[in-house]
Structure 1
Amino acid sequence: MRSEFDTELETRLLRYAAIDSQSDAASPTSPSTEIQLDMSRLLVEELHAIGAQDVMLTDYGVVLATVPATVEGAPVMGWCAHVDTAPQFNATGVKPVVHRGYNGGDITFADAPDLKLSPENSPYLGQKQGEDIITASGLTLLGGDDKAGVAIAMTAARHLIENPQIKHGAIRLAFTPDEEIGRGVDTRLPADLGVDFAYTFDGGKPGEIEFETFSADGAVIKVVGVSAHPGFAKDKMVNALHLAAKIVMTLPQVTMTPETTDKLEGFIHVSEINGGSSECTITLILRDFEREGLAAKGDLLRQVCATVAATEPRAEITCEITPQYRNMRYWLENDMTPVELVRGAVAAVGLDPVSVPIRGGTDGSRLTEMGVPCPNVFTGMQEIHGPLEWISVQDMALATKVAIELAQRAAQ
């Protein structure tokens, strides 16, 4: 049975998903891509249209707005979602498709006939019979991560503005760029947002509330060899690619990669190698739930680089490790009030609150570290960052109800 929010959520997600807004970690600009601002500018127009106040697009690419309070004295709450889509898979020319009243079988894709989505490769789909499922057309990701979160926040905000009899404090909306590349939270955002606490709508199954994330560092290894004509290279050439391969193969292969770890296990992930025989770079990400484990992975990476460098003194190998974000649990465990508030809201809409550590991070990780407590709330998104990505409209409606319930509970 469709709820009062289903049509609006579906319409918004279809509209947002069709806008190209992929971020780019290689870009030095902020936002990293100009196309993200196409989405941001649309949201500015829509926020004005629904009657939001203080609407602005900051010079660092964040859309901010206020849903005005209907009661005095309530804490100021933030709702956050990100407009960018992941760079890991094609996100250009997304064509969202609605599979209305899902029949429980295989979902096929018009632009990729050999691709199949089913309860066999996405078990949660088996619970969605009769619901309205949105996918892409097979050649791209959908971008529900996190345009579903944007649709949820916009729909809940519109509902509160049009129903002033609902008692709630001021709610600040923030739609950020570059979350997928770890650059979504500018240092100016906490002050500009101006909230007591916030929530990102960037999670998965209904009922999930996340307050524990990976801690994350990024690493770049630069290998400089010795260039020589390959026909006359004996005892002269030092091949940077060979040394890069040694570094990669010296790292743990069966105990510390994404494909060999789960649950609370961290990893070192080689995400990219670029360059040639004279010079190349290796880009990696380091993840662990604990600070000590993350530091140990950084030490291991440096040791591997030093070991390989010792085998060829003519080469130059450098390893630069950059902090990205930290486990929000370190701060939230000191005051779980925002977590308990959303747990109550989830239960009030008939769901069982579930909290599991995220094998990833959110803008809330950085906001929490910067003094704005910010747990993560479900949206319904599934199989993200790939062509099988899907979401149930009815799951999005549940998240919208949670947001509205949150607003009322905070006012109490």
Structure 2
Amino acid sequence: MSSLVDRFIRYVKINTQSAEGQNCVPSTPCQHDLAKVLGEELRGLGLSDVTVTENAYVCATLPANCEGAPAIGFCAHIDTALEVTGKNVKPRLVENYDGGDVVLNAAENVVLSPKVFPELNDHKGETLIVTDGTTLLGADDKAGVAEIMTAVEYMTRHPEFKHGKIVVCFCPDEEIGHGAKLWDLDRYGADFAYTVDGGGTGTFSYETFNAAQAHVKIKGVAVHPGTAKNKMINAAMVAVEFAASLPPAETPPHTELYEGYYHMTGITGGVEEAEMTYIIRDHDTATFEARKEHFRLLVRQLNERWGRELAELEMHDQYYNMAVPLQKRMDIVNTALKAYEMAGVTPKIIAARGGTDGSQLSFRGLLTPNLFIGGYNCHGKYEYAVVGSMEKCVKVILNIVQLYAEGKQVK
């Protein structure tokens, strides 16, 4: 088994699922378990200034072995998504995939099928890493972690490979919007960076959504239903009324590419009170601001219809489209695309319908587009990783480093 696959399998067996609604970083103590492992591995590889912080950030530096090259950062996140459990992950290899159905769990009739996931047709003859049908896999983003670690190992084992200063950072809580906020950019200085947190083979993103989160709280009036006429205000029903006022075509199941959306991520409540949580997304800055204003308008109109302040809105921005600052340094993008071609990978430039740690980092001054990881169907029990794609990602990382070390970056 290759060191890349071995690492990945070890990492995904460590539960690092983050959690919403916590007032601490990391949001779950289990994220420290992987952080400590990574810190020890980086020390074992001989990197300098290795730190594992109380917030489960893992940072380290590989000093340059040549002059004139920029300092490049590589970043991935250690937490996994919330939709499906990340406990007791049991990965297995499907070697020489034959193009048919892969039974993940016969007892629960969980089948990974190309009829449902046609991307599988692109991987006949390759080795897949799949789940047992009861958990997610954790390729998002432990594939990225393993790929960065493997690239760093290569550089330490091959002193003839020329590179500038390499900065590594693994972050907690990306899946709940915290991510790289506490990365100490002054201590671990890089001229620019790449997140390794994308999707399938060849995908590359330097555009993301602009993002906001909104909480709508409804205060109702509870009265015995037998004497409720002209008195009761059912907060749950008012919440349903508000949800119905949003354009149904502007929700995730009806949008793609550059189309933004409103997405209810949770709703709770009863007669006395109810609460809804939404995320608001759009690539275009002006349209993003208009969406937020439309949301405020709907809240005002709801209160006007009822003649009282039933609805209370709390809304805050989460991240912004990193394409805006990246326009200043397109060599960071173009050199990565050249690195893809050198690795035999056809680039597929996509506007990410989400955010990455690069969104935060780019607006903090560290320009950071996003490389692919070779993972598919992330956040669910049908998640799988393609070993060949993961290996190509490692080559892309090394190619980027090599191009800049040799002064062959693409303007």
TM-score, normalised to structure 2's length? 0.95
Q: 1:297 and 1:362, CA in 2 relative to 1: closer, same or farther beyond 3 A?
A: same
Partner residue of 2:382 out of 375, 388, 404:
388
* Distance in 2 (alpha carbons) for counterparts of 1:22 and 1:161: 31
Structure 2 residue 269 is matched with structure 1 residue 275: yes
Kindly state the Cα deviation for residue 280 of structure 1 after the two structures are TM-superposed: 1.8
Percent identity over the alignment?
39
Partner residue of 1:326 out of 304, 320, 323:
320
Do the aligned residues in 2 keep the contact of 1:238 with 1:314 (CA within 8 Å)? no
Correspondence for 2:192: 197
Correspondence for 1:261: 255
Kindly state the Cα deviation for residue 247 of structure 1 after the two structures are TM-superposed: 0.5
Partner residue of 2:156 out of 154, 161, 166:
161
* Distance in 2 (alpha carbons) for counterparts of 1:308 and 1:292: 24
- Count residues in correspondence: 406
Q: Which runs of 4+ in 1 moved over 6 A?
A: none
Correspondence for 1:170: 165
Correspondence for 2:62: 67
Do the aligned residues in 2 keep the contact of 1:60 with 1:186 (CA within 8 Å)? no
* Distance in 1 (alpha carbons) for counterparts of 2:68 and 2:270: 62
Please tell me the residue identity of whatever aligns with 1:184.
G
SS at match of 1:203: coil
Unaligned runs of 5+ in 2: 407-411
Structure 2 residue 92 is matched with structure 1 residue 97: yes
Do the aligned residues in 2 keep the contact of 1:111 with 1:139 (CA within 8 Å)? no
Please tell me the residue identity of whatever aligns with 2:175.
E
Kindly state the Cα deviation for residue 314 of structure 1 after the two structures are TM-superposed: 4.5
Partner residue of 2:357 out of 360, 363, 382:
363
Kindly state the Cα deviation for residue 124 of structure 1 after the two structures are TM-superposed: 1.8
SS at match of 1:190: coil
Partner residue of 1:138 out of 108, 113, 133:
133
SS at match of 1:186: helix
Per-residue displacement from partner, 1:173-226 (whole Å, max 9, x unpaired)?
A: 000011111110225533233100000011122222211111111111111112
SS at match of 1:268: strand
Do the aligned residues in 2 keep the contact of 1:266 with 1:289 (CA within 8 Å)? yes
SS at match of 1:75: coil
Do the aligned residues in 1 keep the contact of 2:104 with 2:133 (CA within 8 Å)? yes
- After superposition, the CA RMSD in angstroms is 1.5
Please tell me the residue identity of whatever aligns with 1:130.
G
Partner residue of 1:116 out of 106, 111, 114:
111
Please tell me the residue identity of whatever aligns with 2:123.
K
Do the aligned residues in 2 keep the contact of 1:118 with 1:126 (CA within 8 Å)? no
SS at match of 1:145: helix
Kindly state the Cα deviation for residue 236 of structure 1 after the two structures are TM-superposed: 2.8
Q: What pairs up with 1:295-310 in 2 under 5 angstroms?
A: 295-310=289-304
Q: 1:314 and 1:237, CA in 2 relative to 1: closer, same or farther beyond 3 A?
A: farther
Please tell me the residue identity of whatever aligns with 1:33.
T
Correspondence for 2:409: none
Kindly state the Cα deviation for residue 263 of structure 1 after the two structures are TM-superposed: 1.1
Correspondence for 2:47: 52
Kindly state the Cα deviation for residue 108 of structure 1 after the two structures are TM-superposed: 0.7
Per-residue displacement from partner, 1:227-275 (whole Å, max 9, x unpaired)?
A: 334444333322111111100011111x200001111100000010123
Unaligned runs of 5+ in 1: 1-5
* Distance in 1 (alpha carbons) for counterparts of 2:271 and 2:113: 44
Please tell me the residue identity of whatever aligns with 2:61.
T
* Distance in 1 (alpha carbons) for counterparts of 2:395 and 2:140: 19
Partner residue of 1:9 out of 4, 10, 26:
4
SS at match of 2:179: coil
Do the aligned residues in 2 keep the contact of 1:96 with 1:142 (CA within 8 Å)? yes
Q: Which deviates the most, 271-280 or 308-317?
A: 308-317
Kindly state the Cα deviation for residue 91 of structure 1 after the two structures are TM-superposed: 2.1
* Distance in 1 (alpha carbons) for counterparts of 2:103 and 2:130: 10
Kindly state the Cα deviation for residue 153 of structure 1 after the two structures are TM-superposed: 0.4
Please tell me the residue identity of whatever aligns with 2:363.
E
Do the aligned residues in 2 keep the contact of 1:226 with 1:239 (CA within 8 Å)? yes
Q: Which deviates the most, 367-376 or 268-277?
A: 268-277
SS at match of 1:211: strand
Please tell me the residue identity of whatever aligns with 2:231.
K
TM-score, normalised to structure 1's length? 0.95
